Amino acid sequence: MMNSNKVNFEPIGRRITTPRGTTLLSAAQKAGIGLIAVCNGRGTCHQCIIRVVKGKTNSPTEVETQAFSNQMLADGIRLACQAVPLSDVTIEIPPESISTIQRLQVEGWQSIIPLNPAVKVIDVDIESSIRNEQRSDLTRLKDGLKTFHPDITIPMPVMNCLSPILHEYGWRVKVALHDNGTITGILRVDQQPFGLAFDIGTTKLAAYLVDLENGETVAKLGATNPQISYGEDVISRIAYANLGNSEKNKMQTVLIDALNRLVEQLCQIAGIHSEQIVDAVAVGNTAMHHFFANLPTRQLGEAPYVAAVRESLLLPAHSLGLMISPGALIYLPPNITGFVGADHIAADLASGIAGEGGNTLLVDVGTNTEISLKTRHGLLCCSCASGPAFEGAHIEAGMRAAPGAIERVFFNDGEWYYSTIDGQPPVGICGSGILDAVAEMRQAGIIDERGVLQTGDGRVVINRNGKAFLLVPADTEKGLAAIQVTRKDINEIQLAKAAIRAGIEILLKEAGITADEIQRFIVAGAFGSYLHLPSAIAIGMFPNIPIERFSQVGNAAGAGARMMLDSKDARQSAERLYRENKYIELTTRKDFQDIYMAAMPVSNQLQFL
């Protein structure tokens, strides 16, 4: 096969053999990878970014030397449509270059830590009962374990199945022993122990099954949070729960039912029994945490919006209704405040914000956006009400990231280009698409800094709500409606991005540094992973600092939850992050309104006091 090369795409793990001379973009397309290529390989959109990790490729083309700094080129950064393998190659596809659906399946980046789980599994060969020996099964099990922990506790559900299991398994079993002395499960000697990590988001649930013997994630799944039927955002769900006990309980049971369905599917994928799951970690914002643990939520919806519990919890999973090993305990890391929950602690942990690396800013973009800033003076955090516009809500043609959603918009040389998820005919526009559209409309002079649509461009039309930009004309043959960006849509994006930028600026001000002094700018969260960074900078959502300082890390909260399964040291780090995080309440600050208004223009040159 002299005339072909093997191309290995990571972290997707897809391999393909291609004829010599094939570009990496064509190879990716042939391999069924949804690499973003808005200009279809013309070299003008600069969005098909990949990194050559191993192997030889052609030298960077002129297009690439203009697009990237020397340092980026030296690091192997290329445009897939310009790069041609000259040997077998390994290619890394950054999350922002993969189309949304595939990107959501990619692991969130996480720091590598040594395996040291809170639950260890011990092979126990128990003395079988002998004639005239009256020690109970429980006593003999405890005696067999006394060298491992001085104070063994056996939860009632485990006690209930102890004798049958010991008799069935011939007195040789694996015991899952929590660091605090609780037996969380009893397994056959040939069964492996697993852990479960949940990221409970307001919109999405993510569940990960982790092999506790090697720390590997063996299966992961996502689902929509079914509480959405009772309210789109946290405040409306709290209002629903306030209606009475049955409504409050419903919010917990629909959530637990959905999580149990995910557990069942994960077990099917991995070919294991749910009793093999002997440890669990769950993270979520404070409201999701409270619904999950069935804690009071009323006070979260009323000023001053305090949490019922901020400290970490270790709860019996069965008491919450989770169908895993009968003795398993579920660890819930601490919440920082009523609006900054354990999911942000988990994101802090996964991003390694507290480690080396100079001034580091972490933005976890969502309906509520949480921001942390670490400087040598400490760790600050805040929460911004950025709203659901980036989920496609409150946008006239908006939709969630699903097939047919416009996810990228690009303007070049008088021409408009767009790409849709899965290459399907356009049916709406998702968060990353509307962000791009606003940035490109400003670049094309179709809107001014205030976001006002200018007359004179043939694509500016009048619809029932006033002026709008016609992004995609209607296609009557295919029955597709026109996709327009209205003045109100632009305003929604301005409000959302101004909330985020105001949060960033206030943390910078509090820490006494400027944006230029940020050395690492980490963007987390599902939407944060697929937004186009140059667009976010162009509209002033993020400060105008060199693009190399940014990284998009995917679902950092889910990654942090898995780290806490892999290691009890990570749980201690989470507790430390909780103690060290200084929360800044934005809305009570005198300067908030001025900074928020200063962040409103569609510009990368914003003026703050």
Shortest Cβ 222–ligand FES spacing (Å): 28
The whole-angstrom separation of Cα 54 and Cα 344 is 34
Interface pick for ligand FES out of 24, 37, 118, 485 (rule CB under 6 A): 37
For ligand FES, give the closer residue by CB, 37 or 438.
Answer: 37
Q: Rounded to whole angstroms, what are the CA distances from 269 to 209, 257, 266? A: 10, 19, 5
Shortest Cβ 95–ligand FES spacing (Å): 17
Q: Give the contact letters, 404-433, x = binds to ligand FES (CB under 6 A), - = no.
A: ------------------------------
The whole-angstrom separation of Cα 488 and Cα 438 is 12
Shortest Cβ 282–ligand FES spacing (Å): 40
Would you tell me how many other CB atoms lie within 10 Å of the CB of residue 226?
16
The number of angstroms, rounded, from the C-alpha of 485 to the middle of its chain's C-alpha atoms is 27
For ligand FES, give the closer residue by CB, 41 or 226.
Answer: 41
Give the closest residue to 580 by CA, choosing from 368, 351, 362, 334: 334
Q: Is the dihedral of CA 345, 354, 384, 510 positive or negative?
A: positive
Give the closest residue to 392 by CA, choosing from 422, 440, 432, 364: 432
For ligand FES, give the closer residue by CB, 48 or 446.
Answer: 48
For ligand FES, give the closer residue by CB, 39 or 239.
Answer: 39
Contact 371, 321 (CB under 8 A): no
Shortest Cβ 81–ligand FES spacing (Å): 3
For ligand FES, give the closer residue by CB, 42 or 298.
Answer: 42
Q: Rounded to whole angstroms, what are the CA distances from 21 to 26, 315, 384, 542? A: 10, 58, 49, 39
Residue whose beta carbon is closest to ligand FES: 81
For ligand FES, give the closer residue by CB, 208 or 410.
Answer: 410
- The three-state (H, E, C) secondary structure of 402-424, written as one string: CCCEEEEEEEECCEEEEEEHHHC
The letter for the amino acid at 300 is L
Interface stretch with ligand FES, choices 37-45, 87-95, 284-292, 369-377 (CB under 6 A): 37-45
Shortest Cβ 108–ligand FES spacing (Å): 26
The whole-angstrom separation of Cα 130 and Cα 502 is 73
Shortest Cβ 50–ligand FES spacing (Å): 10
For ligand FES, give the closer residue by CB, 30 or 488.
Answer: 30
Site for ligand FES in 39-98 (CB under 6 A): 39, 41-48, 79, 81
In DSSP terms, 485 is beta-bridged to 469
Give the closest residue to 288 by CA, choosing from 341, 324, 331, 325: 341
The whole-angstrom separation of Cα 406 and Cα 154 is 54
Shortest Cβ 601–ligand FES spacing (Å): 29
The whole-angstrom separation of Cα 163 and Cα 136 is 9
Shortest Cβ 53–ligand FES spacing (Å): 19
For ligand FES, give the closer residue by CB, 66 or 593.
Answer: 66
For ligand FES, give the closer residue by CB, 46 or 248.
Answer: 46
For ligand FES, give the closer residue by CB, 4 or 61.
Answer: 61
Q: Rounded to whole angstroms, what are the CA distances from 385 to 177, 339, 498, 531? A: 42, 10, 10, 18
- How many residues bind ligand FES (CB under 6 A)? The answer is 13
For ligand FES, give the closer residue by CB, 81 or 373.
Answer: 81
Q: Which tokens is 418 given? A: 């767009």
Q: Give the contact letters, 208-227, x = binds to ligand FES (CB under 6 A), - = no.
A: --------------------
DSSP 508-529: HHHHT--GGG--EEEEESHHHH
Shortest Cβ 584–ligand FES spacing (Å): 40
Shortest Cβ 29–ligand FES spacing (Å): 10
Shortest Cβ 79–ligand FES spacing (Å): 5
Shortest Cβ 548–ligand FES spacing (Å): 18
Residues 6+ apart with CB under 8 A from 412: 39, 44, 45
- Cα Rg, the chain, nearest whole Å: 26
Task: Output helix, strand, coil percentages for the chain, rounded to the nearest 5.
Answer: 35, 25, 40
Q: Give the contact letters, 95-134, x = binds to ligand FES (CB under 6 A), - = no.
A: ----------------------------------------
The whole-angstrom separation of Cα 397 and Cα 272 is 43
Interface stretch with ligand FES, choices 32-40, 141-149, 275-283, 480-488 (CB under 6 A): 32-40
> Pairing relation of β-strands 483-486 and 466-472?
antiparallel
For ligand FES, give the closer residue by CB, 58 or 463.
Answer: 58
Q: Give the contact letters, 466-495, x = binds to ligand FES (CB under 6 A), - = no.
A: ------------------------------
Q: Given the rule CB under 6 A, which residues bind ligand FES? A: 37-39, 41-48, 79, 81
